[in-house]
Amino acid sequence: MANQGVIRPATPADYPALYRICLETADAGGDARALYSDPDYPGQRFAVPYARFAPDFAFVLERAGEVQGYVVAAPDTRAFEAQLQAEWWPQLQEKYRQRSASAPLDSKVLDAIRHPDQAAETLVARWPAHLHINLLPAAQKGGWGRKMIEHELAALRAAGVSGVHLGVSLQNEQVCAFYQRMGFAPILRSNAIYMGQLL
């Protein structure tokens, strides 16, 4: 069956796949390989720290022997931000100290590493968790996005989390309809479209 696959917990052995998938979906869902000078940049911000610091909420989709997607979450956004501030950003700040932006989106990641932002209080007050999901094109049909989000929401509920939010790129607004079908409602629009769901 071409559509067979398994959603399983992410492990450190999956980190290379997380970096690759994040890069190949970082342009509002499209391939961003031409937009970053370092292929690890987007994953350093949006994928690997979640698998490392919130492993109970990091899952991958494996199909045909290949990891083709992931969903990651932080059950407590504020606690996660504090942990990254202490244990993740400083090592990246050191690693990239001499780096300057040379590709179109480099500065987005380098600036975020050097000056990490915090989620808006409006978001975390009612929706304290947040998630990121990315699937390679090969896995975008067959209901895998829905299955992966359902898997993540179940894990968050089981941990007693009261609500979760996510951000959708302004260039990728068409996916909002999918999230609304999954029970998410629009919260606010700023640098992204934020949507939330009470659990």
Sequence spans of domains, the chain: 6-198
pLDDT in the model for residue 1: 44
Q: How confident is the model at residue 141 (pLDDT cuts 50, 70, 90)?
A: confident
pLDDT in the model for residue 3: 65
Give the right CATH number for 6-198 from 3.90.550.10, 3.40.630.30, 3.40.50.880, 1.10.3720.10.
3.40.630.30
pTM reported for the whole predicted model: 0.96
Which residues, other chains included, contact 39 with Cβ-Cβ below 8 Å and sequence gap of 6+? 19, 20, 23, 33
Left if phi > 0, otherwise alpha if psi is -120 to 50, otherwise beta: which for 187? alpha
The per-residue pLDDT for range 49-104, each reduced to its tens digit, is 999 999 999 999 999 999 999 999 999 999 999 999 999 999 999 999 999 999 99
